[in-house]
Amino acid sequence: MMTNIIISGVGGQGVVTAGLLLSEAATIKGIHVVMSEIHGLAQRGGSVSVDVRMGDVYGSIIGKGEADLIIGFEPIETMRAISRAGRNTFVIMNSEKITPISLSMNDKEYPSNAELIGLADKSVTIREINAVSLAKKAGNYRAVNTVIIGAALALKVLPFDKAEVLAALNNKFSGKIYDINREALDLGIEQIQLNQTA
């Protein structure tokens, strides 16, 4: 058994932190985890992606078609990761855009999310979520991470449950910040459940 998760986004969005939270939850459940981080070059603004692999795995790199779950922190970066999706890959896409300067510099606008999603094979189901507004609703913009992890939990592809995520959050945060993150987790879960029943 293995679960392969790709988290992609823009430097500065907390992509590595999300990988750490998922890894910690799996570890609490007693599952073997390997995670790959690429550091270096500019600190903010470039494409960043983290591979998290859980279960019977050796290396930290997920091959083409091998991702079980893609978590995109940003629409263009979500689509960039989709080249590693397979037919059964679940995708969560945060709808909040960050315009790359390659567009603005050439007086171009960011494509619509519908145009971007249209690039992907029809067999891939992409669930959009506005994690920024939900994080703000929970009480802090920086809880975007936790909202997205909540959304991933609701898809039931992760090899652990809410209890392990809460334990991981509890190891990291305390007091009010923990409460905000617990709320953010619930908002993420609810959002996906709403979409699924709709």
Residue ranges binding another protein (CB under 8 A): 10-12, 20, 23-24, 27, 32-47, 56-66, 76-77, 79-80, 82-83, 85-87, 89, 96, 98-110, 116, 119-121, 123-124, 132, 141, 172
Contact 76, 113 (CB under 8 A): no
Q: Which is nearer to another protein, 62 or 187 (CB)?
A: 62
CB of 198 to another protein, least distance (A): 25
Least Å distance, CB 105 to another protein, is 5
Burial status of residue 112 (CB atoms within 10 A of its CB: 0-12, 13-18, 19 or more): exposed
Nearer to another protein, 139 or 190 (CB): 139
Query: At CA 102, angle to CA 141 and CA 93, rounded to 5?
Result: 40
Nearest to 93 by CA among 112, 74, 114: 74
Q: Shortest approach of another protein to residue 130 CB, angstroms?
A: 13
Smallest distance, another protein to C-beta of residue 67, A:
10
How far from the centroid of its chain's Cα atoms is residue 124's Cα?
16
Q: What share of the chain is helix, strand, coil (3-state, %, to 5)?
A: 45, 20, 35
For residues 166 and 190, which CB has a smaller minimum distance to another protein in the complex? 166
Residue 32 or residue 176: which is nearer to another protein going by CB?
A: 32
